Each structure stands twice: as C-alpha cells, then as structure tokens.
Structure 1
C-alpha cells in the first residue's frame, strides 16, 4: 500500500517539477491540460488502489457494487411494445428476456489485468468498479451529435475567450493595481458576463458533449454526469449536483473513510473541501508558475458561504439561497481571474511595466 501511495504522490508532483523547470516549453492552455489530466489520473488510481484493497480485506466485491448485477433500463420502445402486448404473456416474457440479458460478473482478483485498468482510465468516471454498466451498442446518430457539439463548442469558447474575455482582463490591470475601487468594480462586472458565458459553455462541452461522447464510444452506460445544479438553493446542493463524478469520488474515497475512522461529519466535510481547494490551486498556480492561494482560499470560503446560503434558505426562502449561489458564481470567478492576472503580470513582466 505504501508503494501505491508514493506512486500517486509522485504522479501529482511530476507536472509541478517539469513545468517549473521547463515552463517555456508549455503554453498556458497546454500546461493547464497536462495538470488536468494528471489530476484525473491521481483520482482514478486512488480509487483503483482503494477498491482493490477493500476487495482483498473483505474477500468480496466492494460495497458500492454489492455483487448485484445492474440491469438495463427499459426503453420507450420496449414500454410501447409492452403496452401493445399487455394481454400477451408470451410477448411480455420475450421482452423481459431481451431486457435482462445475463452477464458474467467479474470477481476479485479476476479484474487485475491491463485491459480492465485501461478501460477504467478512459471511462468517464473517477470511481472504480469491478463491473461497470454497459450499453448494448454504439448509437451512431447520438455520437455524431456529440462530435458536432464538441467541434462547434470549442470554437465558440475560443472566440468568446479571445474577443471578449482577454480584452476585459487586460483593461482591469490598471484600476486593480491602483486600487481604484470604483473602476475595478466596473471592470469586474464587465468581465463577469463573458466569463460566465465561457464557464457555462465549458460546462456543457465537458459534462454533456465530451463525456457522453466518451461514454458512447466505450459503451459506458452510467451517464449521470450532472444534476440540476442551476436550481440549487444552497452551496451544499450546488457542489453535490454540478460535478457528479468528482462528488461521488469525494464521498466514496474521502468523506466516508474519514467518518469510518471515527471523525465527525464536519471534519470529513472540511477534509473534502481542503483536498478540493488544493486541486483548484494546483490547476491554476502550476501552469502560471506562481504559487498564490486565491483559488485555495476561494474554495475554503465555500464552507462559511454554505452556512450563509443555508441560513438564507431557511429564514428568507429557497430563492434567496439560489441567489447567493448564482452571485458567488458570477462574481467570484472573475474576481479570482483579475487577481491572478494582476499577480502574473507583476511577477513575470514587472520590468517591462517599470520601463513603460
């Protein structure tokens, strides 16, 4: 187990060392992509090691699978067929045979082979299971729609970023440096609009288009990548709904193990937000080659903000809680961007600014 822990720690340190030494060889987008991939690998390998450890200790499949076979959902066509033949027992039996096809369940240690690991590494999930739910075929029309969404969406995001966000960020440098609160606030609000549009587009591209594309190619049936986070009436609900793969990973591999160790739920929640804050800072500071704590502090600030949103929901109604959620999204992100941009320019281009 110690070797596995050392391996995943070294894995997360590799981008930090290489980008710090040879940062000129990476573009900003390229460095962010590398850190993003290594963060995913870290969480996937953590899950893989922990689940197999549970199997070794218990001698059975992990609690998340419970050795229970996941059956496919009945499609609309099958339901219509069922209604059409509701008085025909033979037709109903035939439909149920097609719906519940027997599959051989993999048991530990039969899962310990390269093919199983590679499938998990590419699958759109962070939580390892010995038996993933699978679809019966690849839907070509659905796949084509997701490909078109990815291609068009990437171009839309790049256009918004280059033509709207970058000029707004550049114009915020002078008032932010001079601590001109009035003009800095104006720049913040001007940046909030394109930033939020880009964030929404990236969310749709990643969690709907790309992850469904990947799931369709791999015939991965569990497509619950997000819930209705836009209706969240508290910060807690937002973080539980907007990124389901990470939420499941945090609950399964952080929250529950911490509680099982004898700590309280509050300590477990703080641990989850601390690890999340570390990765948010990791994805920003390492590509920028400067180690600030704005993203880390922003994530840790979600704990008191969660209490405030819950208080507003209880005493003033759920709409006020939802207002706090949206306000934190619209204002918090551009504020962090402005702070990081200011520090980045001062750190890397201070000589040019002084000469100018």
Structure 2
C-alpha cells in the first residue's frame, strides 16, 4: 500500500477525541447536529399524524422496533454463552503457552498444530452455531444482528489477542501472557487491535455517557421512522401484487434519499455514539473510530476512512499476513484477499440477519468496491457531489432490493423451500414482476 493509505492506519494508540466530538464544539458545525434533531422531531410528528389520521392509532414506531427486537432474551442468552466461551479461550491459550515450553522440538510442532487445528475448528463452528441459533429460533432482524455481529466481533478480538501474543519462532524466551484482566478489558474497549496498555482518561464523564445513550435510542427510533414512512410503502406489497419493471426501477431511484437517511444515522449510531459510549465507560482514550470520509471524492478514500476500527484489523491481520506470508509482497492479491474476506463476512451477517441469501451487497462490495478502490478522483467539490450521489444510489439500491426480497418471501412464502429456492432470489421466482 502507498504511503497515503498508511496514514490512516495508526501504528499506536494516543489520547484523542472522535472527529465529530471536536467538530461539534464549533457552533456552525453543531448546527448540522441540530438539523438532524429537527429532522427527528419532524419524523416523529409526521409519524404521529400519519398513524392517528390514517390508521386510527399512535404507535410511534414501537411496532417495528418491537418486532425487530423480538426474542431479545434469546439473543442476550446466546451473547452470555459466547462471552463465557471467549473468556475460556484465554485459559486454553495459556495452557498451550505453558506446556509448549517443556517439549522437545518435534513434540512442540505437534502441540502447536494440534491447537491451531482446534482454534480453526472453533472459528468455523462459531459461525455455524450463530447461524443455527438465528435459524432455529427464527430470530427477527435486530435480534439476529446482535447474535451474528457480536459473534463476529468476539472472534476478531480472539484472533487479535492470540496474534499479538503468539511466540515468535526465532525466540527462545518462554511466552508470558498478560493477566486475564487485560484480556477482559480488551473484550469491552472499542478497538479490535490488542496491546498491553491503552491511553486512558482520568475519569468517566457520566453526562457524556448519558448523551451517547440517548443518541443511540433516538437513532433506533429514527431508523424505525424511516423504514415505516419511506421504505415500506414502496416495497411492502411485493409478493402480494405484480410490479412492473418500471415500478421496480423507480423504487430504486425514489429511495436514493432513503438510502442516505439510512447511511448517516447508522454511521452515527454504530461508529460514533455506540463506540464513544463504550469508550467513555471503559475510559478508553483513543476515539479514532472513523475519519473525515464525508469529504472524499472517491471510494478508495471512503473505504480507508469509514470504519477505522475494522479497517485497522483487516490491515494488520489480513492484508499484512497475506502480503508477508502468502503472496510474498504481491499487494494486489493481498488487497483482493481483504475485499473477498470482508465481502463474505458482510454477506454472511446479512444472510442470517434477514433470514435469506441475497448477495447484492457481496456483488457491490467485491466487484464495485474492488474496482473503485483503484479509481481515484480529483479533490474537488464536483467530485465530492458525484461521490455523494453514487453513495446515495448504491445505498438506495441496497435498501430497496433487500426490502423487496424480504417482502417477497414474507408475502409469497414457499413451504419447505429447497436449497435452490433458498439461494435464488424469491422476487425473481414469485411471479410478481410484470414485463410488458
């Protein structure tokens, strides 16, 4: 990777605020924050009026939230199980480190490969178990997201901890693991990169914690309003009546604004409010969770700046490992490995979050993402506008097509679907598109 890209990959942690935290100190920039609050109030009033005048009831988006977070207790129980198993990994790793130092070379190699095999099997069956839980208990989307995303996050934490502490082959010194308290702290801090110590704040600012918590709740309601008032009316009849091809295309263009209404609050919820909430609770000092992706003019910069937490993990444990050990300096193949693994995991999450296989994000991420990663653009206002429209169109197509597929399967279900019916998009086989 070139030097410009390496600038977005910090080699160490330092004490700093999230970019938006600092920007909101400026009264002019803070107006944007106030604009979103005003938009939230507008959506709230709009939803109340719509529910009361058209439906004769006022649900305030609670119906959608309640259905999305249904069977939440199962998701939380599964998380507790994952957490306990993750904690046990520390002691299993300690067992490996302790006994390998007393073995001869040949026995040590066998000992290492034995535990590497077990660890690999755990990675595989961790994904399989999460898939089994959300499928067997028919968890709705939000509860499923908790299971699959937390399973993935904890797995990335385990990998980071092991990779950071593993004994170097040329060293004769016994491997000494940090205390369990370090590992436990690492499981909750908002980073996927393990190190012995992190910069920490002097104390917890409970006002800051409360504001971030209120933001999380508000954004969940915001997204519920957007789905209920903008997305659902355009796609919820799919499977119960025929759509023309023109209607289908029009839905995508109509939902470009809806796509932005999805993208910005989701970014704010996941990468600002939620990460800062846990950053403050754990007194974690480095809040560089994202950079100024909104100023980008191309997707190469966007991929580097959007989610620095995951991007740093991919760089250290996928790109560098593949580049150093597998492809021997071939940066192109190493980058492709990053995009492939990232696309597969993203698609796996969405598949079990929604309960169906619909690889549109996989195609956009792997094909367009890979191509756009090599396409630069001048740093001008015009190209920033084009970047934003491309982002809106891409997100609009995603929310529209995933919404259409969701309702096609809900309104035109198949009894005991075969494997083919599971992998082939239902909106193509339900005879719901009228081609004149």
- Using the TM superposition, give the Cα deviation of residue 108 of structure 1 relative to its aligned residue in structure 2, in angstroms: 6.1
CA RMSD of aligned residues (A): 2.8
> 2: CA distance between counterparts of 1:22 and 1:151?
26
Partner of 2:189: 123
The yes-or-no answer on 1:252 pairing with 2:316 is: yes
> 1: CA distance between counterparts of 2:170 and 2:182?
21
Q: Which one of the candidate residues 116, 128, 133 is aligned to 1:13?
A: 128
Contact 2:235 2:407 in 1 (8 A): no
Structure 1 residue runs without a partner (length 5+):
62-106
Q: Which one of the candidate residues 137, 144, 151 is aligned to 1:22?
A: 137
Larger RCO, structures 1/2 (Cα 8 Å, 6+ apart): 2
Contact 2:263 2:395 in 1 (8 A): no
Corresponding residue SS for 2:201: coil
- Using the TM superposition, give the Cα deviation of residue 354 of structure 1 relative to its aligned residue in structure 2, in angstroms: 7.9
Structure 2 residue runs without a partner (length 5+):
1-115, 415-429
> 2: CA distance between counterparts of 1:200 and 1:18?
30
Contact 1:171 1:187 in 2 (8 A): no
Contact 1:172 1:187 in 2 (8 A): no
CA deviation string 1:162-203 (max 9, x = no partner): 23222233267789x64523x323221222212311221121
Contact 2:237 2:407 in 1 (8 A): no
Partner of 1:293: 359
- Using the TM superposition, give the Cα deviation of residue 221 of structure 1 relative to its aligned residue in structure 2, in angstroms: 0.7
Q: TM-score, normalised by structure 2?
A: 0.62
CA deviation string 1:56-111 (max 9, x = no partner): 546599xxxxxxxxxxxxxxxxxxxxxxxxxxxxxxxxxxxxxxxxxxxxx96241
Corresponding residue SS for 2:412: helix
> 2: CA distance between counterparts of 1:140 and 1:343?
43
> 2: CA distance between counterparts of 1:168 and 1:348?
15
Corresponding residue SS for 1:137: coil
Contact 2:297 2:384 in 1 (8 A): yes
- Using the TM superposition, give the Cα deviation of residue 319 of structure 1 relative to its aligned residue in structure 2, in angstroms: 4.2
> 2: CA distance between counterparts of 1:29 and 1:123?
22
CA deviation string 1:2-46 (max 9, x = no partner): 2222222221221112223332xx112111221111111121111
| Structure 1 pair 173–306 and aligned structure 2 pair: CA distance change class (3 A) | farther
> 1: CA distance between counterparts of 2:389 and 2:172?
46
> 1: CA distance between counterparts of 2:201 and 2:350?
37
